[in-house]
Amino acid sequence: MPDIAAVHDYLRDLQDRICAAIEAADGEGRFVQDQWQRAEGGGGRSRVMKQGRVFEQAGIGFSDVCGATLPPSASAHRPALAGAPWRAMGVSLVFHPRNPYLPTTHMNVRYFEARPAGRDPVWWFGGGFDLTPFYPFDEDVRHWHETARRVCEPFGGEARYRAHKDWCDRYFFLKHRGEARGVGGLFYDDLDEGGFEACFGYTRAVGDGFLDAYLPLVARRQDTPYGERERQFQLYRRGRYVEFNLVWDRGTLFGLQSGGRTESILMSLPPLVRFEYGYQPEPGSPEARLADYLIPRDWLAELA
């Protein structure tokens, strides 16, 4: 049987550990916590750092919520569970750095359980992490994907990395723009193959691997000099993040459909952003270079 208490305890501890590490990396900013309860059942802890030295805004939330009817966004791939009582818990984060040379990043790990009438509970895990640079560096992209591959090594090795890397490329893709949200990473959902312990072990590896993937980039890029041109391009590209989260993201849709806490659901959005009609970067410019990184690629082969 699934050890739900162990999942709950791990996720709360993961939130604590990531907050402590990001506060240490920032040096000035501190997370402020909102603890909240959901009328239909459960609650969570939303933590946001505003106007830190490194992070303009960093949000990380833990939630453990339940309901009487599984929302359509969660049952789309499991129609037999439509309308079943459910429980969901997870940790989700999005960090928006101040420096345009330090990428925005997202990580999420989650557990779902549905209890259809007359059947045993049906459970699954999901999660992953991905990277959204504005001014990409090959060594950063290589490190990010090397860390992702190491995470996968005990759980199917190269095959697991390739499968979840490709899933990430497909999922974090702005279909209306014909471009990826960033340079990818790992993404998976509906994971129950191999039993609870194996799936929980992999989910822990993804959650624990996030800081190994991201903190070295913080150290490398947080003090890179930049000017107003880079800042304005960062704000423009943040608009793509808004577009994806509001148009395509299943997690946002699930939160809103399930009557979740709106502030917590939308804390992934950047604090400042700009939209510009018909923007075209100057050919050959550093801004134009980004387009080459928004096409799903075999990064480890190309950057070896």
Annotated binding-site residues for substrate read 92, 108-110, 259-261
Q: Strands, E, within 29-132: which ranges?
A: 32-37, 42-50, 55-67, 86-97, 104-114, 122-132
DSSP track, 147-214: HHHHHHGGGTHHHHHHHHHHHHHHHSEETTTTEESSSEEEEEEEE-TT-HHHHHHHHHHHHHHHHHHH
d(Cα 82, Cα 75) in Å, to the nearest integer? 5
∠ CA 250-232-266, nearest 5°, is 25
Can 106 be counted among the known catalytic residues?
A: yes
d(Cα 22, Cα 19) in Å, to the nearest integer? 5
Q: Which residues contact 277 (CB under 8 A, 6 or more apart)?
A: none
Marked catalytic residue, from 8, 77, 106, 164: 106
d(Cα 17, Cα 89) in Å, to the nearest integer? 17
d(Cα 304, Cα 138) in Å, to the nearest integer? 10
What residues form the annotated binding site? 92, 96, 106, 108-110, 145, 176, 259-261
Q: Which residues contact 175 (CB under 8 A, 6 or more apart)?
A: 248
In our burial notation (b when 16+ CB lie closer than 10 A, e otherwise), range 2-17 reads: bebeebeebbbebbee
Q: What residues are labeled active site?
A: 106
